Each structure stands twice: as C-alpha cells, then as structure tokens.
C-alpha cells in the first residue's frame, strides 16, 4: 500500500498527436522547422509537447530493404533499429507511444497486405507462429530500450485481413478476409490471436488497436467488427480522410454506430489528414475538391481550409466521449531546407502535413489539434503537479489541520460536503488506490 501511495496515479485522458515516422529522415537531410511566426524550432518533439500534443505514432515494417525503389522513395524505411531510436526519443519526452505494425516489408493498406519476403514460404500455421514470435521480439526489444508502447496496432488498415501472400502472386479469397467467408474469418482471427498473445505477454498494460478505414461504409464496418468480436483487442482504430471517407457527417454516423453496437470499446482516429495546398491525387475514390458533399460543407484546400477542418474535426470528436485518441498522419512532412535534388520523399511532396514545404513554417491547423486533449484538473491533485501522490496527502492533512501552506479548501473538499476532514482523506486514499 505504501508503494502505491508514494507513486503517482496514472490519469486517463484523451491523447492527441501524429504519426511522425519520417521525422529522423527529415532531420538527417537538414529540414528546417519554424513556428507559424517564423521562429526556428530547435527540436521538433519538445516543441510539439509544448503545443499540447501528448502522443506519437510510429510505423514498423518487417524488412523495408525489400520494398521497391518507389516505395522507399515514399518513405518506407522504418525497420526495427530505426523505430527503436525514434521510440526512445518519443518516450523520453513524455509522450504516449502507438506502435503500428505493418506486417509487411512495405505499405500495408486495404488494397495490399503482402506477406514479408522472408515469410513467403510459410503455411498458415507457420505464419501464425512467426507472427507471434516476430511481434514478441519487436516488443521485447522496445521494452529493453525503455520505449514500451502504450498502444499497439496489430496490423495497419486491415479492413480485408492481412498476409495475403508475397508481392506479385495472386491473392485468393481465402487469404483475403471477407465478411461472411468462414474460412477467411478463421484464418484472420488466428492471426489476430497470435499477435495479441505476444502483446499481452510483453506489454500487458498496452492497449491493442484493430485498425480499419471503413468509415465511408458503415454497414461493412459494423459487420467487420461483429465478425471479429471474439478477437482480443481494446480499441477500434479508424482512418479518416474526408477526401476518401466523406464529410464529418459521415464520420459522426460511423461513431454513433460504434457507440450503439460496440459498447465498451474505445475509438481512436489513428490517421487523419487534410490538404493545405494542391490536391496531388484527383479523381481517385472520392475527390473532395470537385464532387458534391451530400453531408455538409467542404473546406478549401488552403492553409485556412486545413485549419478550419482540423478545428471542426476536433469539435465533432469531442461530441463522442468514446473517442479517446486523434493522430494526424505525416504531420512532419517538410522538405524546406532539404536539397531539392535529393529530397526525403521522391514521389512528390505531401501537402497534408502540418508544415509548409515552401518556407518550413508550421501550418495554423497544428495549433487546433491540442484542443482534443485539453489539460484538466485531476480529482485529488491538490498540489497541481498533474499527479495524485503522497504530496497531495500531506497537503490535505495540512488543510485538515489548518496549517499554513495548506491546499485550497475548494480542492481539498473532495466529497463536496462543505468541510475538509477525515472523509476527504479517505476519499483521496481511494483515488490513489484506484
């Protein structure tokens, strides 16, 4: 009990941040980061912490050296060594860490879930064993480095399953998870179970996230999460890009569906984004710039439009207490200061990041995101240091005794009965013991 009292209470709160998987690459090539006023940012991570961000997401590929030159030019480079180095920095700054397993050598998403080259010859049973041992080994390495993940995605955008087969080979319906196909469902659930077992063994306090991008098809999303109801996971992770998944009205409907049909599950928007400049991909899926939005207003593809979208997204998510996380995808994208003949991303600049490639300045949207995780007073935190610990017990005792320097009487009256007494001390101890 004494150990519990001396240690601070972990306080549950929303998390907000971004997937900054390419930050070390930008730093290595000399990208220059500035705030919105043009003041130089000495180090991006602590600066983001000062902006109110409290979590970061990092992707992990099995062997990105096997990715094509085009894919490597798109930013596929995050092997385990790379991720450990970045994750240590993230945790050292006090951020929560979401680890995003791409169980592939390159991008894993709804249209491609290719089995890593080194796993290509394995049958399903061997594949599950390897999935377990690989997940376990990666997590053990991170834990040993002092970079334990707080959230773990066992797969990236796995709306149609994962590990379909090697690149260049036909993918059978068995290997591609399809709702209603019993064989594919059993195969997929076995994979999820193998990955989850490793997570629970090595990182028992981490929350497991199952990530899809089905917001624009709520019926399919509903059927998907019902089909995997027996899987061991904690968080429904969603991608939300309005140019693919329609407007905030569509997102609102998807969240209401989850609230009604999957009580007890948290939701996190693990990928979100909106352009601040030209739209590089037009006419594919849903072209937000030209097609009518049947659910509400659109936002201009400008710096102000991006800011307005970010503010509206945060406001919408705050209407749904079930949503506990928001991550902007690739916010660190910034080629300013980099040799244009040797850019970080060779496939064209990404224009939904939160820095301007033309001048290195932070986009105004960045400041809007922190509102999703506002700093709030913690019940029992009488000293205001963000933790509930032995210092608060001392402050409450001083308040009871009427000694100088005692905690504010309003805060100390934890049970709200108008007096500060032993009942408040009992309540404080219960808060500390959770």
Beta strands 266-272 and 55-60, pairing class: unpaired
Query: Which token pair is 219?
Result: 């019926």
pLDDT of residue 173: 65
Across the chain, which has 434 residues, the per-10-residue mean pLDDT values are 43 85 97 97 97 97 96 96 98 97 97 95 96 98 98 98 89 83 95 98 97 96 97 98 86 96 96 84 48 59 91 96 97 95 84 94 97 74 70 83 60 76 83 72
pTM of the predicted structure, to 2 decimals? 0.84
pLDDT of 412: 77
Q: What is the pLDDT of residue 59?
A: 98
What integer pLDDT is reported at residue 376 of this predicted model? 55
Give the three-state DSSP class for 410.
helix
Q: Where are the domains positioned within the chain?
A: 11-372, 390-433
Four-point Cα dihedral 83, 85, 89, 90, nearest 10: 10
**pLDDT for 429:** 83
Whether the CB-CB separation of 30 and 337 falls below 8 Å is answered with: yes
In this predicted model, what pLDDT tens digit does every residue of 2-34 receive, in sequence order? 444 444 444 457 999 999 999 999 999 999 999
Going through 43-196 in order, the beta strands assigned E by DSSP cover 55-60, 96-101, 151-154
Give the count of alpha carbons within 13 A of 53, CB side only. Answer: 28
- pLDDT of amino acid 209: 98
Question: Using CA atoms, how far apart are residues 234 and 301, in angstroms rounded to an integer?
Answer: 35
Q: Which residue has the tokens 């209401």?
A: 256
Q: Check residue 281 and give its pLDDT.
A: 53
pLDDT given at position 288: 53
**Sole residue written with tokens 């193998």:** 194
Q: Which of 424, 374, 425, 384 has its CA nearest to residue 52?
A: 374
Chain centroid, CA 283 distance in Å: 28
- Sign of the Cα torsion 35, 37, 38, 41 reads negative
CB of 365 within 8 A of CB of 354? yes
Say if residues 311 and 334 touch (Cβ distance below 8 Å): no
Q: Which two tokens stand for residue 421?
A: 């007494």
Cα gap 240→248, rounded to integer Å? 9
Predicted pLDDT of residue 238? 98
CA distance 163 to 186: 14
Which letter does DSSP use for residue 314 in this model? H
Topology of domain 11-372 in CATH is: TIM Barrel (3.20.20)
Q: pLDDT value at position 286? A: 47
- Residue 410 main-chain phi, psi, to 5 deg: -65, -45
């Amino acid at each position: 009990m004494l150990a519990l009292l001396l240690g601070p209470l972990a306080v549950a709160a929303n998390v907000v941040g971004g997937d900054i998987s390419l930050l070390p690459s930008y730093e290595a090539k000399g990208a220059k980061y500035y705030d919105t006023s043009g003041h130089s940012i000495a180090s991006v991570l602590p600066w983001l912490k000062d902006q109110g961000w409290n979590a970061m997401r990092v992707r992990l590929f099995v062997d990105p050296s096997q990715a094509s030159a085009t894919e490597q030019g798109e930013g596929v480079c995050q092997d385990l060594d790379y991720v450990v180095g970045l994750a240590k920095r993230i945790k050292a700054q006090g951020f929560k860490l979401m680890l995003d397993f791409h169980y592939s050598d390159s991008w894993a998403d709804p249209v491609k879930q290719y089995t890593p080259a080194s796993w290509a010859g394995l049958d399903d049973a061997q594949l599950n064993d390897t999935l377990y041992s690989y997940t376990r080994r990666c997590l053990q390495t991170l834990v040993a480095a002092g970079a334990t993940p707080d959230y773990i995605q066992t797969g990236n955008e796995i709306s149609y399953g994962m590990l379909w087969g090697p690149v260049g080979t036909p993918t059978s319906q068995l290997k591609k998870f399809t709702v209603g196909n019993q064989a594919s469902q059993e195969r997929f659930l076995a994979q999820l179970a193998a990955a989850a077992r490793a997570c629970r063994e090595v990182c028992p306090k981490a929350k497991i996230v199952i990530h899809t991008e089905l917001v624009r098809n709520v019926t399919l999303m509903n059927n998907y999460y019902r089909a995997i109801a027996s899987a061991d996971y904690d968080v429904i992770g969603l991608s939300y890009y309005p140019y693919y998944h329609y407007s905030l009205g569509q997102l609102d409907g998807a969240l209401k569906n989850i609230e009604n049909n999957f009580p007890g599950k948290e939701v996190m928007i693990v990928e979100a984004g909106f352009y601040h400049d030209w739209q590089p991909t037009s006419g594919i899926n849903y072209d937000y710039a030209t097609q009518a939005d049947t659910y509400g207003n659109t936002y201009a593809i400008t710096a102000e439009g991006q800011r307005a979208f970010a503010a509206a997204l945060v406001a919408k998510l705050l209407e749904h207490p079930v949503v506990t996380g928001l991550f902007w995808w690739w916010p660190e994208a910034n080629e300013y200061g980099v040799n244009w003949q040797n850019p970080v991303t060779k496939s064209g600049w990404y224009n939904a990041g939160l820095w301007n490639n033309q001048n290195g300045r932070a986009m105004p949207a960045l400041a809007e995101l922190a509102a999703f995780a506002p700093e709030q007073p913690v019940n029992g935190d009488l000293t205001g240091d963000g933790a509930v610990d032995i210092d608060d017990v001392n402050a409450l005792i001083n308040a009871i005794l009427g000694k100088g320097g005692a905690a504010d009487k309003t805060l100390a009256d934890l049970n709200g009965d108008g007096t500060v007494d032993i009942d408040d001390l009992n309540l404080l101890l219960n808060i500390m013991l959770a």
